[in-house]
């Protein structure tokens, strides 16, 4: 994947990301009029990140949040989450998904008792099998449809550069596979780019908002640095500006450490050979879960770990938390994700202000920032805040300079 997602390779997508961020800022301007902006802001972040991963994977531009490709891809992901749930976790996030019920998820006790897979379909209580078949067909369509669209675009010669377009043109990529197997590999790869890169990046942006509301002094310092480089509502940042914004870069490191998007390191790993680590015998096949949350709270490395302090990374000896994993299983899209987070966060700092709401007596409402239960990612629970353009000049900058381009 380094040929398409390596540090140098992702530079070709800088223009794509700039377009996505500009559209996000314009849409957030509408959200800024809302008295309870959390859910709408979260939705806009998710849509923006989905737009970026769809263009990266397929070269396809989502029309809106009703785009069939988008809706089918999201629903397929939700179905996988539904099917993987077990009763002990259901009550924590049952309200996140319309139409989801305890009974519906409890059907998938086959995850706990695998022998249920061999129970005849005619027995009562095996309706989950029919549901699984329907969801499998739906997932197949969600994976096939955008792939076929991209394939037709490449065949016509009119396509936007994407990972899929490059792979479809490279006949050497999947040597040794049949045509059908090769297509299945490409379909799954493209969908995984969407599934793995959308929710994680959107969650990271909401964690940034939470950090700014909870730590206004950090926001002010970051905005001052952004203004010193860009001017006051003069232009938006580009990737080349990152080297001139060390505090913003450290702030992003701190967001990823302060509230890791995937505290357990994403999907579990398995040891591929017998090993010994610090006196512990680890047998081949042992399932390993990397506790990024614990690593990010290691007081021997991060002093006062619960505090949000971007300046801690001014010390070159302090390493960023391993937010993107480690070793051979490190997230292959990390460079694209880092570029996305920098452009989005620097642009948000340049144009918007995230602040605490006030109660009826004029006292600031200090939000309680905590994560909610999920399968892999841990999104922030809803909290109160205000989203406003930094000034009328910034509002006009978004309306006149950005939306007109």
Q: Per the domain annotation, does 71 fall within a domain?
A: no
Cβ-contact 36, 12 below 8 angstroms: no
Q: Per the domain annotation, does 333 fall within a domain?
A: yes
Give the pLDDT confidence score for residue 90 in this predicted structure.
39
Q: Which two tokens stand for residue 237?
A: 């940042």
Q: What is the CATH number of the domain that holds 52?
A: 1.10.630.10
**pLDDT tens-place string over residues 34-46:** 999 999 999 999 9
Cβ neighbours around 79 below 10 Å, total: 19
C-alpha distance from residue 123 to each of 113, 115, 129, 292 (Å): 16, 14, 11, 43
Residues 6+ apart with CB under 8 A from 214: 308, 366, 367, 369
Name the band, by pLDDT with cuts 50, 70 and 90, for residue 144.
very high
Residues 6+ apart with CB under 8 A from 37: 31, 385, 386, 387
Using alpha carbons, select from 225, 220, 217, 214 the residue that is nearest to residue 247.
225
Give the pLDDT confidence score for residue 210 in this predicted structure.
97
Give the pLDDT confidence score for residue 375 in this predicted structure.
59
CA distance 277 to 287: 14
Give the pLDDT confidence score for residue 37 in this predicted structure.
96
Give the pLDDT confidence score for residue 89 in this predicted structure.
38
Q: Per the domain annotation, does 373 fall within a domain?
A: yes
Name the band, by pLDDT with cuts 50, 70 and 90, for residue 175.
low
Q: Per the domain annotation, does 177 fall within a domain?
A: yes
* Structure-token match 């909870």, residue found: 214
**pLDDT tens-place string over residues 83-96:** 775 433 333 434 54
Our measurement of the distance from residue 232's CA atom to the centroid of its chain's CA atoms, rounded to an integer in Å, reads 29
What are the φ and ψ backbone dihedral angles of 371, each rounded to 5 degrees?
A: -85, 155
Q: Per the domain annotation, does 187 fall within a domain?
A: yes
Q: Per the domain annotation, does 244 fall within a domain?
A: yes
Cβ neighbours around 275 below 10 Å, total: 13
* CA-based end-to-end distance of the chain: 33
**pLDDT tens-place string over residues 214-263:** 999 999 999 999 999 999 999 999 999 999 999 999 999 999 999 999 88
Structural domain including 19 reads 2-61+160-260+325-402
Does an H or E element contain 354, and which?
A: strand 352-355
Residues in the chain: 405
Q: Per the domain annotation, does 173 fall within a domain?
A: yes
Q: How many domains does the chain have?
A: 1
**pLDDT tens-place string over residues 321-342:** 999 988 777 889 999 999 999 9
Q: Which two tokens stand for residue 25?
A: 């800022």
Name the band, by pLDDT with cuts 50, 70 and 90, for residue 171.
low
105 assigned to a ligand binding site: no
Predicted TM-score of the model (pTM):
0.90
Q: Per the domain annotation, does 10 fall within a domain?
A: yes
């Amino acid at each position: 994947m380094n040929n398409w997602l390596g540090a140098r390779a992702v530079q070709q997508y800088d223009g794509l990301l700039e377009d996505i961020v500009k559209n996000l800022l314009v849409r957030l301007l509408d959200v800024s009029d809302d008295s309870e902006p959390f859910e709408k802001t979260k939705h806009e972040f998710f849509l923006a990140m989905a737009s970026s991963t769809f263009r990266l994977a397929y070269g396809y531009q989502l029309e809106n949040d009703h785009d069939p490709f988008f809706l089918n891809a999201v629903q397929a992901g939700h179905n996988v989450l539904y099917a993987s749930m077990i009763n002990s976790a259901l009550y924590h996030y049952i309200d996140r998904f319309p139409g989801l019920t305890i009974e519906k998820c409890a059907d998938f006790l086959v995850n706990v008792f695998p022998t249920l897979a061999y129970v005849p379909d005619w027995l009562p209580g095996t309706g989950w099998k029919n549901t699984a078949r329907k969801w499998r067909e739906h997932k197949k369509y969600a994976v096939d449809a955008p792939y076929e669209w991209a394939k037709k675009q490449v065949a016509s010669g009119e396509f936007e550069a994407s990972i899929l377009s490059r792979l479809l043109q490279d006949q050497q990529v999947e040597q040794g596979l049949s045509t059908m197997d090769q297509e299945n590999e490409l379909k799954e790869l493209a969908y995984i780019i969407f599934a793995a890169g959308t929710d994680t990046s959107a969650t990271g942006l909401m964690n940034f908002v939470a950090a700014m509301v909870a730590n206004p002094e950090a926001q002010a310092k970051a905005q001052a640095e952004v203004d010193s480089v860009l001017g006051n509502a003069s232009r938006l940042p580009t990737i080349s500006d990152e080297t001139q914004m060390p505090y913003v870069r450290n702030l992003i490191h701190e967001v990823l450490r302060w509230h890791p998007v995937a505290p357990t390191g994403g999907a579990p790993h398995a040891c591929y050979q017998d090993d010994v680590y610090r006196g512990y015998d680890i047998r081949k096949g042992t399932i390993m879960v990397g506790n990024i949350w614990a690593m990010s709270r290691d007081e021997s490395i991060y002093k006062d770990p619960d505090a949000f302090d971007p300046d801690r990374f001014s010390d070159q000896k302090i390493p960023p938390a391993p937010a993107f994993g480690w070793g051979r299983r490190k997230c292959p899209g990390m460079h694209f994700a880092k570029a996305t987070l920098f452009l989005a966060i620097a642009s948000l700092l340049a144009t918007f202000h995230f602040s605490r709401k006030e109660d009826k007596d004029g006292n600031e409402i200090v939000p309680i920032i905590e994560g909610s239960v999920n399968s892999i990612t841990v999104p922030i629970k809803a909290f109160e805040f205000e989203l406003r353009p930094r000034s009328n000049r910034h509002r006009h900058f978004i309306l006149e300079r950005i939306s007109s381009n």
